[in-house]
Amino acid sequence: MKKLLLVLCMSIAIYSGYNMVTMEASTHWRHEQVVVHGGDTLWAIADRWAQDGEDVRAVIYRICEANKLENNTYLMPGQKLVIPVRANHEYLAQK
């Protein structure tokens, strides 16, 4: 009985983990372009683009990945950055 319960719990855990990974991988992104102004920081830009309840650090990570930047990179006024933003359903329907 204990082995059956263990197998059942492990199956549920693996299935749930797989669903979470697939759900994140299937997220659709749109890319916005912003121009850096004097005094802008990665944190400030990411904070403007973070969705409700989203961790600003995750947005910073996506910006750095999309623009091949280091986290401690100085931004220059006039520099253009690509901002990956989760696409909502209305945006996808318009495409």
Q: What is the pTM of this model?
A: 0.64
Domain that holds residue 74: 29-94
Buried b (16+ CB within 10 A) or exposed e, 61-93: ebbbeebebeeeeebeeeeebebbbebeeeeee
Query: What length does the chain have?
Result: 95
Residue 3 vs residue 22, higher pLDDT: 3
Domain at 44, CATH number: 3.10.350.10
Q: Is residue 63 part of a domain?
A: yes
Whole-angstrom distance, CA of residue 46 vs CA of residue 73: 14
Q: Is residue 42 part of a domain?
A: yes
Q: Is residue 49 part of a domain?
A: yes
pLDDT, tens digit, 9 for 90 and up, residues 42-88: 999 999 999 999 999 999 999 999 999 987 889 999 999 999 998 87
Token pair 């749930």 is at which residue?
Answer: 16
Q: Is residue 18 part of a domain?
A: no
Residue 95, pLDDT score: 42
Token pair 């209305």 is at which residue?
Answer: 90
Q: Is residue 72 part of a domain?
A: yes
Count of domains for the chain: 1
- Token reading at 50: 């973070």
pLDDT, tens digit, 9 for 90 and up, residues 9-44: 777 878 776 655 545 555 788 999 999 999 999 999
Residue 56, pLDDT score: 95
Q: How confident is the model at residue 89 (pLDDT cuts 50, 70, 90)?
A: low
Q: Is residue 20 part of a domain?
A: no
Q: Is residue 10 part of a domain?
A: no
Q: Is residue 13 part of a domain?
A: no
